[in-house]
Amino acid sequence: MADQNGEKKVTIQGIVKMKRDARRIVVVTAYDVLFARIVDSAGVDMVLVGDSLGNVVAGFDTTLPVTLDHMIYHGAAVRRGVRRALLVVDMPFLSYQASEELAILNCGKVMQQTGAEAVKVEGGTDEMVSTVGRLTRTGIPVVAHLGFTPQSVRTLGMRVQGRQESDASRMVEQAKALEESGAFALVLELIPSDLAERITDAISIPTIGIGAGPHCDGQVLVLPDLLGLNDGFEPKFLKKYANLAETVRNAVARYGDEVRSGAYPDAEHSN
């Protein structure tokens, strides 16, 4: 299938095949139609509407206040800008944990109202593995998420997970169980790179790393972070590919100077 410009649409099957073909998967987040169009045209493979919007859009300290309505609103906006990449929407806190039936209803609602091709859920407990199985059997494609899971920040703290061998071994087994349950990809966040390599080698579905080293099948970054829009956020794993905060600050300051001096609008910019 191709989009209106003739570019081949990225599919779930295509993402899984990228691992078999040893092709790295490029994932970024987006939260609005303008940036969605830009990242899609830049050729990324997957766009994630992350509940990180709670931090970088809404200004919350954590992702916990993000609601289903927030995710649907932003997911639908991003859908209107994404044509080629695979679109995945995060399921927010308490929208899928209470019961499998609630998970099916809410995940189905997100797919219906946003047009996303898949959803992402956090955790690898037995209960979550069972939920992923129910979702996939219902026809809802799932990206799973292990390591530091932001919705568990109050219990885990924001720190690297899996440093102890017992924790690492459990995470490997959870990854295998999530694959068996039907997840087609697995995000690994804030874990040691050697553990990420173990997990990547142990499963046949792609791993997508963030703060998990170079051995994953793909990488994801939060778009405002990689663009340098998020002043003061400097985790070790983050590489900033632009400094747009300074660019925007300077542009707005110049605009202010010209408005105050009367230089804008001039004849060229007047009807």
Q: Which residues are catalytic?
A: 189
Residues 6+ apart with CB under 8 A from 148: 156, 158, 159, 160, 161, 189, 190, 191, 211
The DSSP letter of residue 119 is E
Burial degree of 59 (CB within 10 A; 0-12, 13-18, 19+): exposed
Structure tokens at 39: 């990242």
Q: Are 162 and 211 in contact (CB under 8 A)?
A: no
129: helix, strand or coil: helix
Q: Are 107 and 146 in contact (CB under 8 A)?
A: no
Region label for 90, one of left (φ > 0), alpha (ψ between -120 and 50) or beta (otherwise): beta
Give the CA dihedral 89, 47, 51, 32, nearest 10 degrees. -100
For residue 243, how many other CB atoms are within 10 A of its CB? Answer: 13
The DSSP letter of residue 2 is B
The DSSP letter of residue 118 is E
